[in-house]
Amino acid sequence: MDSACRSVKYRVEREVLNEQRLKEVTQRKTSSATHPSLTKQLKDSLRCSVPKLKRSVVSSLPVLNWLPKYSVWDYGMPDIVAGISVGIMHLPQGMAYALLASLPPVFGLYTSFYPALIYFFFGTSRHISIGTFTVLSIMVGSITERLAPDADFLISNGTNITAEVDITARDSYRVQVAAATTVLAGLIQVVLGLIKFGFVGTYLAEPLWPTVTGLYFEGCLLLAATHSYSNTDSQCCVHGFLIAAKELNSFLSPKLPVPIPVELITIVTGTLISNHGQLNSNYSVSVVGEIPRGLSPPKLPDVSLFGEVIGDAFAIAVVGYAICISLGKTFALKHGYKVDSNQELVALGVSNAAGGFFQCFSVCSSMSRSLIQETTGAKTQMAGVVSSLIVLVAILKLGPLFQELPKAVLGSIVLVNLKGMFKQYSDIVTLWRSSKIDLAVWLVTWMSTLLLNLDLGLAASLTFAVLTVIFRTQLPTYSILGNIPGTELYMDVETHREAREIPGVTVFRSSATIYFANAELYLEALKDKSGLDISKMILYKRRQEAKQKRRERRAERRAKRQAKREKQGQMTAKQLSELPVFTVEEEANDWMDTCIDGNVTNGKDQCWTERENGTVFVVPTTARTPDGDCRWEYLKGAPDCTSLGSISELQDGDTTTLGSSSEETLSHDLERVSLGSLGKWTWDIHSIILDLSTANFIDTVAIKTIKNIFQDFSEIDVDIYMAGCQASVVEQLELGDFFSESITKRQLFASVHDAVLYCLNHRGATSFPRYEPLVDMNTSTKL
């Protein structure tokens, strides 16, 4: 059945459409109709109505869109199960990632509660889990370590400064630094979202992922400072247990309704062992310490710190959003709903800004928790509310139970969770096979974040990623297209065996849009691919034209001299006509035979006619004697009355000859001289089609370049056409005064195939040479 369908052929009959005809057929609207004026847009934006107000409120609070339609029967249980599973993960990860931020663990619990609850109202993704994340925790930790180092909080005893650190004062100041950074990052995200800058995540998501690996090493160094005795055998045991348990969890996940809470089991076990073994007092094992019950009141951030952390806050804002939008779009595509990128930026910004008032540090979506939330059957963000409630219970009731939890256990949880991240090194092999440029971005990003500090590393990686985009637009792939016989398809002749060039027609395409950075390269590539060196050919033509003008001037001078000689001849003939002329009969008969038209006139007209025809006449040289004898002399008439005849004075091997006997005919011949007749070049291209289907915009430099292409190639009798232009490109061409008397919309076609058909018809072709099936599919065009 499939093979039968593939073998079906259709006969397509349609009109060849250029841009002008396409506009008439499709009834394309004018630019003013599709793009309202600025005044009208301003009036519409200020006009208020109930439906518009409703749409505005719903777009700002997406929860109002789906919560009234929430089905407890269908979504309630899946959301509860997913929320409990994610909430259990929040507890160990929140406390562990607080260590990466160089903050007390309880602030990790706060960070797992407030932002997730706020995102419920403003977010548009149904599956991502907002809260602590490794990368942002490490980024915050680098800021707090820089602005609040241990050396600034050494306890002084009179004149002596001890090596002991005032941990309470240090942690208090670090919390202020983290909160100020978080609030500022959130405000940046809100502003970017309000100005519709959400598309930035499209460019920043991929290049920034390798920074995660570079930041892991910094996180490991931060964790190393908290471990002493626990770094040996006990930590190895914890690592081994976590890794084995997680592998077992992954193996059994298809058969389990919910994943086994391995991390929570590890925390509970570690706390019990530490409490009963008195590890802190007996072996000086660092533990979590006091975890106050209840929620802390909101507190204004220290605004004086904004100036010191604004660069870091911007980096955190960008990275956090990039992670959120990439995960959100992944799940949205999988489950068939839409994520608003600008609203996501606002939602994340509000979550960070509001959370900063409650001493939270920066948050984004977590890959591990989001995956658990999705695989356990979550349907809406109600699962996020359930997970927040689990964290709230832990803050209010269970906090003191974890005071004896060794920090080494939290460190082990972080390192084991990073195991999946380290698998990104396997991307090197994949990128090497698929894209060398993406591999270069990956390596530069990894090296820059490893060798430089965080801000410079992110800036360097982002700059390099943008440069690769510029380079790729400056160095696109240029190709000559050929027709696939029997179709209207045109493919690169270098990469497709069946693609055949249309004789006399060159179809040229660039893989990138044309703009100021690659316009000159586009022109050079067109010359190279077409085989026509326009600059040299036009220069040669100009030189030949200059030579021909010099020949014309010389011909004019000769004509003037000839006219002068003719005038002198006329004067001589006039003088001779005044003398008595006696013709001999036999000579007269001979003269009569030499006349061109066989008629002889009398008087002056006869004399001039004879001269013009090179006749022979006699004049007496002596007076007549009484017996009638006298001497006669034969003279050649009009010896200088030759015409221009053929001028064969062309120099430098020129093959053109001008065979004209009048100045008017000579000028006409000069106008008819083409470059091909000069004998320097020969070519079989009569038309070039520029396939602009890949161009989504065009600027003034590109417009000038294309206009120059039209003008230059017309000098060597090659027609230029454009095909496949998008409506926006056509509008830009119109606004740029591209079309004129010499360049009209009739040279702009709806498709390459239409342009090819017109070229062949315009040049008098009767068919597609060697490609008859193509003609059969377009019989409405009589070629």
> What is residue 439's predicted lDDT score, i.e. its pLDDT?
82
Q: Is the pLDDT of residue 501 over 50?
A: yes
Cβ–Cβ under 8 Å, residues 353 and 62: no
C-alpha distances (whole Å) from 97 to each of 94, 108, 246, 322 are 5, 7, 19, 19
Least confident of 129-133, 288-292, 306-310: 288-292
Full 3-state SS string of 110-172: HHHHHHHHHHHHHCCCCCCCEECCHHHHHHHHHHHHHHCCHHHHEEEECCEEEEEECHHHHHH
Q: Which residues contact 165 (CB under 8 A, 6 or more apart)?
A: 150, 153, 154, 155
Q: Is the pLDDT of residue 226 over 80?
A: no
CA 592/CA 616 separation, integer angstroms: 10
> What is residue 612's predicted lDDT score, i.e. its pLDDT?
39
pLDDT tier for residue 479 given thresholds of 50, 70 and 90: very high
> What is residue 135's predicted lDDT score, i.e. its pLDDT?
82
Average pLDDT over residues 25-51: 76
Phi, psi (deg, nearest 5) at residue 478: -105, 140
C-alpha distances (whole Å) from 197 to each of 190, 309, 743 are 10, 22, 39
Average pLDDT over residues 467-473: 80
Q: Which two tokens stand for residue 233?
A: 């055998």
Q: Is the pLDDT of residue 477 over 70?
A: yes
- Which pLDDT tens digit goes with each residue over 124-172? 999 999 999 988 998 899 899 999 998 888 877 766 666 687 888 999 9
Rg (CA), the chain: 45
pLDDT tier for residue 380 given thresholds of 50, 70 and 90: very high
> What is residue 180's predicted lDDT score, i.e. its pLDDT?
96
> What is residue 543's predicted lDDT score, i.e. its pLDDT?
82
**Helices 77-100 & 134-147 angle (0-180, nearest 10):** 30
Average pLDDT over residues 260-288: 80
> What is residue 611's predicted lDDT score, i.e. its pLDDT?
37
